[in-house]
Amino acid sequence: MKFNAVIYDLGSTLIDYENHNWDELGLMGCQNACPTLNGMSNTLITPELLWQDFHYTIDQMFENHSKDLAEIDLYEVTSNILKKLGISVLDGLVTRFVDAYYLPITNQCTIIPGAEEILAKCKKEGLKVGLVSNTIFPANFHRAEMERFGILKYFDFTIFSSEFKSRKPKKDIYLKALELAGAKPDNAVFVGDRLLEDVEGPQAVGIKAILKFIKGRDYSAPITPYRTIYKLSELEKIILA
């Protein structure tokens, strides 16, 4: 066997979060969260206006952090937007808002076919199994989803950028994964669906990377993965042979 550790991405690799596009999901989240703000502002707050604020603020923060790759603090973003709207953020309002905002997103996500099967096989063969995922949402949200879909039990560790405070492709996040896996780079493999974060990033620290191809995504960047797969079941012959 070539590898003793396999590290997975989460979104579009093991769990599909995009059964709606992110603009639709953002608006759905604001529609669900808006009732928590009823009567708390002197101005009319509509889901559409609220989503515009979130969309603009988050895009600006991603742009500002494009070099240092610091992760966005969603609670801070929410607090600042609500304060701008003249809403007091005492008594746990921000947490309640974020919980309500995320509910439509988690309700529409689904497990990707073959995810549990390949994870179970990796675990049975004695590989260390880890996860490194970019997300602005709290890590406990995603661990709850993994538990719901029956896959959390297969992981030796999970790293979410919202906890780690840095995003892929920053080298530190892959090096931390190697440390937790107790593996050297040439004994580990990374599986994910994005060229920059899941191929170029891990390969920059010596980890071989397998691209999980997503139809319709732009893969024109000159980045070459170790292997490309179209279904998770293809991993068995690559990493367990």
What does each of the 241 residues of the chain score in pLDDT, given as a tens digit?
689 999 999 999 999 998 888 899 999 999 999 998 877 766 778 999 899 999 999 999 999 998 999 999 999 999 999 998 888 888 899 999 999 999 999 999 999 999 999 999 999 999 999 999 999 999 999 999 999 999 999 999 999 999 999 999 999 999 999 999 999 999 999 999 999 999 999 999 999 999 999 999 999 999 999 999 999 999 999 999 8
From 66, 85, 108, the end of a domain falls on 108
Residue ranges making up the domain that contains 74: 22-108
Asked if 126 and 95 count as a contact pair (C-beta separation under 8 A), the reply is: no
Nearest Cα neighbor of 98 from 160, 162, 43 is 162
Residues 199 and 168 in one domain: yes
Name the domain count of the chain: 2
Count of other CB atoms within 10 angstroms of residue 72: 20
Q: Using alpha carbons only, give the angle 149, 124, 205 rounded to the nearest 5 degrees.
A: 85
Residues 38 and 154 in one domain: no
Nearest Cα neighbor of 101 from 164, 170, 180, 47 is 47
Distance CA 9, CA 14 (A): 7
Query: In 76-164, which ranges are E strands?
Result: 110-111, 128-133, 157-160
